[in-house]
Structure 1
Amino acid sequence: MASAMEAPVEVPGRASERASVSRRRLRSGLLFGALAVLLVAGVIASAGVGQLTVSVTEVIGALLRGIGIDTPWAPASEITYEALWQIRFPRVAMSLLVGAALAVAGAVMQAVFGNPLAEPGVVGVSSGAALGAALGIVSGGVLAGVVGTASMAFIGGVGATLLVYVMARAGGRTEVVTLLLTGIAVNAFAGAGLALVIFVGDSAAREQIVFWQLGSLNGSRWNEVAVVAVFAVASSAIAFALARRYDLLALGERTAGHLGLRVERLRIVSIILVAVLTGAAVAFAGIISFVGLVVPHAVRMVLGPAHKLLLTGSLLGGAVLLVWADLFARTAVTGAELPIGLLTSLIGGPFFFYLLRRARSRQGGWA
């Protein structure tokens, strides 16, 4: 009878596990809350700040008016309203989509390769897109113009990625090391092809190719946003559906296989997802480096390796990073616009070095 009245004994292992779950939930709640605030603030600031300054209330009023809700906050000037909806809002939407797509692609790449330093460029998608865009710019004729260049960039990025996979496949499967080495080879080949195209092109084409490679969201239009949105949303949804499989893959290929995971099928689907996400992102925006590396790794440092949370945080973090980077690119220099790819490289380069130093110091290398 006395034993029945005793309080239940708390198992130490379960108590620590419960505390760990609580801390993880707290961290995820704080991170997602901070990202949501930064995202909303970035959207409003990016839409309102520039050569034409628009107040916060006018930005919100214009947005509500555009979706059919009349408020007294709407801009009094029709010119301001049209400027927001035809110039500012498409650019903001493009920055959100491109940042989210690149970050999700990076998270998928890191899951497939089992390496937190992996990024989409490893499989040749960026160099292939650059070569395709250069061909579209130099060829002229049917391929001339923004739509032709974007289409060629997308085809080049996806084509290069599929080429890497096909060349790395042997005996019905692919090895991660073989994929990496094949990606290096295809990147080198695409770089040589890009140099040749630049050499063949005239001065105007060369300038356009160089500018495209630096990355820019200037001139984004709603039809372009719609194209990127279709690919980015569909591919991101598939990536989220595969989150549980990525968790299994993190246990190791052999263990995941014993648990019923078809590793090879997951790898090819994931590589195609990375190609589509990155190709769609860079097609209209140009090469934007390090977003796919920096954002997923930073989110992983806070939330841990669970891929559903990691993909969610990466999506939000990529959108936040690019919307603020684009705002800085437009406003940092009066009368000029910095290439957004330059800004992300300035952020990503030192962070990448920090990651290498951190990983090396854990292995007893650098001090």
Structure 2
Amino acid sequence: MLQRSSPDDLNETPPKTGGSVRGVPFAAFLLLGAGGLLISIVAAVSVGAVSVPAATVFGVVANKMLPGLVDVDWSQGREAIVWQIRLPRTLLAAFVGAGLAVVGASLQSVTRNPLADPHLLGISSGGAAGAILALLHTGLFLGLLTVPLMAFAGAITATMVVLAVTRLTAATSADKLVLAGVAVSFIIMSLANILIFLGDPRATHTVVFWMLGGLGLAQWSHLVFPLGVLLLTVPYLLAKAADLNAMTIGDETAATLGIPVARFRLTVFVLGALITGVMVAFSGIIGFVGLMVPHIARYLVGGSYTRVLPASLMLGGIFLVWADILARTLMAPEDMPIGIVTGLIGGIFFIGLLRSRASAGR
């Protein structure tokens, strides 16, 4: 009887750079990434219509966390800009970017499709439809939890529909799974547009936030939800990195290693729907993050998911923080929806990815 390999057996699958990342130990890479994320957050809080020195940013944060630790030499207006507006927005960008990136990486493993991401598979559209339903029709009957719960319900419904369509049409290949996701996404967005059409015209303008993506409504009270869902789900995915490695090889290989393939794939889809639903509830539809970032992570750290997942988390956070900086500054003082920025960058990346695969004859 075949014995299931231990996680360490699969985790030993070396990335293309061996035990280091471009000659840098992976632990050092993580430290550099964490430093880059911190610098990105400080830069995002500093940049805007009103510039705030980095020293003031650190001072405001330190004073809020430990009152009296530093001398207050800034105005109340700058303190409000840093603490009430920019910092929660920037942290939300980091959480959303990290969440979407890790979902994209996980989906690309279990579908064995490098083009899979929560946007292309219709999960983001389902989450947006759930949020729109809550905002325009049901009301906040569960308080602040209503929108993220309805968004998750929409995301998981979209996931189940995509899986049902693949079974109905016998679309077993990875490419057809993505096509099924795109088709379902169009259908769900049409239903969402009907909900907007039937909603109160005076309130429908707020739905543009979910359709185009944006972080301008971020508040401290909101951050507990995206942070909480990451703390709840990411440790499981990290613990299953060996299984994700096996799934990239094929279902038969994974099954011989003792992995319950169908159940594990469904679990990853549900977790992906949970993460995406919560992120969409507070950021709207932000496409292509889950597609781009895992590919960049693999280029830097190799193919092992013990490295791809943490690298995707960090790079996703950094990417979306800088995308938000562009969204706030390109048309200042207008605040461009961040979905426009990620869509433009992601679309170009998507074309380049297709070109590289065509050149490789794949």
TM-score bucket of the superposed structures, by smaller chain:
0.7 to 0.9
**Equivalent residues of 2:118, 2:290 under 8 A apart:** yes
CA distance in 1, matches of 2:307, 2:262: 24
Question: Is 2:14 the counterpart of 1:21?
Answer: no
Moved more, 47-56 or 98-107: 47-56
**Equivalent residues of 2:149, 2:278 under 8 A apart:** no
Query: Residue in 2 aligned with 1:230?
Result: 228
- In structure 2, relative to structure 1, the CA distance for the partners of 1:266 and 1:147 (3 Å cut) is closer
Moved more, 41-50 or 144-153: 144-153
The structure in which a higher percent of residues are helix is: 1
Counterpart amino acid of residue 122 in structure 2: G
Relative contact order: is structure 1 or structure 2 higher (C-alpha 8 Å, sep ≥ 6)?
2
Counterpart amino acid of residue 100 in structure 1: A
Q: Tell me the CA shift for residue 321 of structure 1.
A: 0.5
- Aligned partner of 2:294 among 275, 278, 296: 296
Query: Residue in 2 aligned with 1:131?
Result: 129
With the length of structure 2 as denominator, give the TM-score of the two structures: 0.86
Q: Tell me the CA shift for residue 263 of structure 1.
A: 1.1
Q: Tell me the CA shift for residue 217 of structure 1.
A: 0.5
CA distance in 2, matches of 1:338, 1:146: 26
- In structure 2, relative to structure 1, the CA distance for the partners of 1:265 and 1:254 (3 Å cut) is same
Q: Tell me the CA shift for residue 48 of structure 1.
A: 1.8
Query: Residue in 2 aligned with 1:339?
Result: 337
State the percentage of identical aligned residues: 35
Aligned pairs for 1:3-152 (under 5 A) are 21-22=18-19, 24=21, 26-27=23-24, 29=26, 31-32=29-30, 34-68=32-66, 70-72=68-70, 74-139=72-137, 141-142=139-140, 148-152=146-150
Q: Tell me the CA shift for residue 54 of structure 1.
A: 1.8
Q: Which runs of 5+ in 1 are unaligned?
A: 1-16
CA distance in 2, matches of 1:141, 1:18: 49
Equivalent residue pairs, number: 346
**Equivalent residues of 1:100, 1:316 under 8 A apart:** yes
Q: Tell me the CA shift for residue 324 of structure 1.
A: 1.0
Q: Deviations over 1:72-127 (max 9, x none)?
A: 36543344334322222211111110010000000001111112111112432111
Give the number of the structure whose alpha-carbon radius of gyration is greater.
1
Q: Tell me the CA shift for residue 179 of structure 1.
A: 4.6
With the length of structure 1 as denominator, give the TM-score of the two structures: 0.85
RMSD of aligned Cα (Å): 2.9
Q: Tell me the CA shift for residue 256 of structure 1.
A: 1.6
- In structure 2, relative to structure 1, the CA distance for the partners of 1:183 and 1:65 (3 Å cut) is same
Q: Which runs of 5+ in 2 are unaligned?
A: 1-13
> SS in structure 1 opposite 2:18?
helix
Query: Residue in 1 aligned with 2:350?
Result: 352
Question: Is 2:313 the counterpart of 1:315?
Answer: yes
Q: Tell me the CA shift for residue 351 of structure 1.
A: 0.6
Aligned pairs for 1:142-221 (under 5 A) are 142=140, 148-165=146-163, 168=166, 175=172, 177=174, 179-180=177-178, 182-221=180-219
Q: Deviations over 1:129-171 (max 9, x none)?
A: 222222223326446997644443232112222343356568x
> SS in structure 2 opposite 1:88?
helix
- In structure 2, relative to structure 1, the CA distance for the partners of 1:262 and 1:95 (3 Å cut) is same
> SS in structure 1 opposite 2:66?
coil
Moved more, 27-36 or 325-334: 27-36
